[in-house]
């Protein structure tokens, strides 16, 4: 169909993007269907950051029969202690009050999670085509064709259905011309992996100040640190010597001094300006999007990957039904979007709200954010409501609940 293109085989499903979402979807489908994942990167790239899995994501991994393996590459945290930057305690968030089998946070290095998912996807019979970038798609009434580039080679693939799991800047979304709103989140972050600090295994820590927020979470053999940076400050910070930044972290939590020795240069630290993505339709005939491609969000609730894992299970189930009925129409695929949209929109909105109140240079917002954290820490009912939502186990706050956080 395209000139000068090498035609490859026909697959049941082609998934564009071998991140957490594409791989989880592949694992859910590969035993029953012929699945190909196209991934732009040449292989697994070790991450310089951590990833927190919460009850909803852990439940999805259990359904994929992968929870045991994933648990072995992460560290469980039952408490997150929230402090003011001067060291006074605002709240001790206790996940054990959640009435759920996974009432904890599991923090790991995301490339290790991808390794587990990749191995399982291959074991279940799936294929990964690496160093291959999706370029364009054409939908036909009986199939979908897509063109991708692998080094100098232009490749054409055909399938019954295509899934865009290619992240916040999704090219599949653009190729399908799905109307999309993208905006930069107010929070910019630095992320890094320092050496281990045993005391964090009992309680992870998060510190808040006006225009400052920093988190310390344990990962196997290390400490995952995230640091909020008001927009536009990255160049000023990187112009300084790294030791000044390390001193700032040590002033906030003196115990982190030795673990920071493992950070040698600014190259050990990742800078991210997250985006919020909202897409009017997640599906069309013979095509669907999942994960960050449809609902990238502010990282303040640590929910992006968790919700992506949930998407993967629901979409796999819907795609199974498409194969059973031979119907890949937008009407059939809409069942997936209808099942997932409410929760993802709720979490996007609440993450934005949390960001406005906790990572802010505005005095009133900061005062209000502190008040909400303190009230949440003092009242078990409020804590349960807040943790249930931020752990992906609910999709709404009642008006009464919203008011109780403030007054």
Cβ closer to ligand FAD: 112 or 375?
112
The minimum distance between CB 100 and ligand FAD, in angstroms, equals: 16
Q: Which is nearer to ligand FAD, 108 or 357 (CB)?
A: 108
Of 29 and 375, which CB lies nearer to ligand FAD in the complex structure? 29
- The CB-of-310 to ligand FAD minimum distance in angstroms stands at 10
Report d(CA 272, CA 187) in Å as an integer.
9
Supply the minimum distance, in Å, between the C-beta of residue 273 and ligand FAD. 9
| Residue 92 CB, nearest approach to ligand FAD (Å) | 20
Q: Considering the complex, what minimum distance in angstroms separates the CB of residue 345 from ligand FAD?
A: 15
Chain contacts with ligand FAD (rule: CB under 6 A)? 16-22, 38-41, 49, 51-52, 133-134, 165-167, 171, 191, 272, 274, 291-293, 299, 302-306, 308
Q: Tell me how far, at minimum, the Cβ of 74 lies from ligand FAD, in Å.
A: 11
Instruction: Round to whole Å and give the CA distance between 114 and 120.
Output: 10
Nearer to ligand FAD, 300 or 375 (CB): 300
The minimum distance between CB 263 and ligand FAD, in angstroms, equals 16
- 27 vs 293, beta carbon nearer ligand FAD: 293
Decide: 325 and 378 in contact? Cβ < 8 Å: no
Place of tokens 């050990």: 268
Of the pair 147, 286, the CB lying nearest ligand FAD is at 147
Residue among 85 and 150 whose Cβ is closer to ligand FAD:
150
- For the CB of residue 324, give the shortest distance to ligand FAD in the complex, in Å: 26
Distance of CA 267 to the CA centre of its chain: 22
Closer of 223 and 308 to ligand FAD (Cβ): 308
């Amino acid at each position: 169909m395209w000139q000068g293109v090498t035609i490859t085989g026909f697959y049941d499903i082609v998934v564009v993007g071998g991140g957490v979402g594409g791989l989880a979807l592949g694992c859910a489908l590969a035993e029953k269907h012929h699945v190909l994942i196209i991934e732009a990167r040449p292989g697994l790239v070790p991450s310089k950051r951590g990833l927190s899995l919460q009850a909803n994501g852990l439940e999805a991994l259990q359904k994929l029969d992968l929870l045991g393996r994933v648990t072995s590459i992460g560290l469980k945290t039952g408490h997150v202690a929230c402090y003011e930057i001067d060291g006074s305690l605002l709240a001790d968030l206790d996940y054990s009050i959640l009435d759920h089998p996974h009432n904890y946070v599991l923090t790991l290095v995301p490339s290790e999670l991808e390794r587990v998912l990749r191995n399982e996807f291959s074991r279940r019979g799936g294929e990964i085509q690496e160093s291959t970038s999706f370029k364009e798609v054409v939908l036909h009434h009986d199939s979908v064709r897509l063109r991708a580039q692998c080094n100098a080679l232009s490749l054409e693939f055909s399938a019954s259905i295509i899934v865009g799991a290619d992240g916040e800047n999704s090219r599949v979304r653009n190729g399908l011309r799905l109307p999309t709103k993208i905006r930069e989140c107010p929070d910019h972050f630095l992320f890094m992996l320092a050496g281990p600090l045993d005391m964090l295994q009992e309680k992870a820590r998060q510190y808040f100040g006006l225009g400052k927020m920093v988190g310390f979470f344990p990962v196997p053999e290390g400490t995952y640190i995230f640091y909020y940076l008001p927009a536009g400050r990255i160049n000023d910070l990187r112009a300084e010597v790294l030791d000044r930044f390390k001193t700032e972290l040590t002033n906030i939590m003196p115990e982190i001094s030795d673990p920071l020795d493992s950070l040698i240069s600014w190259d050990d630290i990742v800078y991210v300006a997250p985006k919020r993505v909202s897409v009017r339709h997640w599906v069309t005939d013979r095509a669907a999007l999942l994960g960050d491609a449809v609902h990238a969000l502010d990282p303040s609730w640590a929910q992006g990957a968790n919700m992506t894992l949930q998407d993967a299970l629901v979409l796999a189930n819907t795609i199974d039904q498409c194969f059973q009925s031979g119907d890949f129409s937008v009407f059939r695929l809409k069942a997936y979007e209808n099942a997932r949209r409410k929760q993802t929109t709720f979490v996007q909105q609440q993450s934005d709200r949390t960001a406005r109140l906790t990572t802010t240079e505005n005095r009133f917002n900061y005062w209000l954010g502190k008040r909400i954290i303190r009230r949440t820490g003092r009242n078990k009912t409020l804590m349960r409501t807040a943790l249930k939502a931020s752990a992906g186990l609910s999709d709404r706050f009642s008006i009464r609940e919203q008011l109780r956080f403030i007054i």
